[in-house]
Amino acid sequence: MPLDQSPPLNSLGFTKPPSQTRVVVAMSGGVDSSVVAAMLSEEGYDVVGVTLQLYDHGAALAKKGACCAGLDIHDARRVSEKMGFPHYVLDYENIFKNAVIDEFADSYLGGATPVPCIRCNERVKFKDLLETAKDLEADCMATGHYIQRKMGAQGPELHAAADASRDQSYFLFSTTVEQLDFLRFPLGALPSKDDTRALAEKYDLSVANKPDSQDICFVPNGDYASVIRKLRPEAAAPGEIVHADGRVLGTHDGVVNYTIGQRRGLGIGGLADPLYVVKLDPERREVVVGPKSMLAKRVIPVREINWLGDAALSSRETWEVAVKVRSTRPPTDAVIRPLSDTEATVELITPEEGVSPGQACVFYDPDSSRIFGGGWIHKG
């Protein structure tokens, strides 16, 4: 080989044959991670499938449609058996409870609206599981997330998925540069979810038509309040529903039953104008309501920032970016005003409604698909 010619890279970016490249695939039992494992196995990689048991197995068996439940562990095992690679189930219940569930409960109790899937990626999948993958002497770890990893001038960069409707960047903003160096996301460049299901059919996987999970894995049917009441009984303490002008309009059976921006189910009918939850005050056990105009926020305090730009966050007084303040909303133009490398004030060009403490604020390059990281919205 000529001296100026480097060895070719395989599809995961390594200068060696797939058969000599070990990749741990985080398998939830769903179609996405199953396709990743089957695809890499067919390409000849040394695949090791790993599924995490994150909460009580007995309860999991009775619950369908959420990741990492008992039935999903079974589905992941069937895929590995069909494709002929080893599969392990790791008991991460204590880690998951300490790193994700307890904070979820405490955040709700504190009047915030947490996003536990982000914490799970940050503290469990991309931390403990990633370290396990290294212990297994893997070259990298692959997941079924819809996001892209691209090589830039200064190393790997995080980019939004090719299919904007499937993009999961909001839930992965806290991925660090060091983690990104070890992670791979083979589905991020696919044009649509239909392509993923077509691959599942191609590999004749039993999960080809399995529905996507909608719930947080430990919250059956999206009933957050019942989970919080079970974990923190004090969350059901009654209190008053108070108008922002000080009037007491009614009573409630627990702040945990309400979220910022909520309009329906307040139990205070008969008023001329609709009212929305504009603030939760757990210490006073008050649900504060007001007109829709009070929901609009322009200035957002953000902390615990994971910055993925090429220069340090604090190296400039301002950064012009686009931001997402909820997973279901498109990015909107904003200016970041750093207070340090991990804390900033974000000023939205156009005010947004329903900005809630506990949610993430994710930063995007307005001129490309690149993600510059993000942080957590707090009360300031």
Residues involved in catalysis: 120, 217
Distance CA 52, CA 155 (A): 29
Burial of 2 (0-12, 13-18, 19+ CB in 10 A): exposed
H or E element: which one contains 226?
A: helix 224-231
With H, G, I as helix, E, B as strand and everything else as coil, classify residue 333: strand
Q: How many CA atoms lie within 13 A of 196 on its CB side?
A: 28
324 neighbors 334 (Cβ within 8 angstroms):
no
- Strand pairing category for 360-364 and 239-243: unpaired
Phi and psi at residue 377, in whole multiples of 5°?
Answer: -75, 130
Alpha helices (H) in 285-375, listed in sequence order: none
Q: What is the strand order of the sheet 46-53 is part of?
A: 87-91, 46-53, 22-26, 140-142, 183-184
Mark 72-88 as b/e (b = at least 16 C-beta within 10 Å). Answer: bbebbbbbbeebebebb
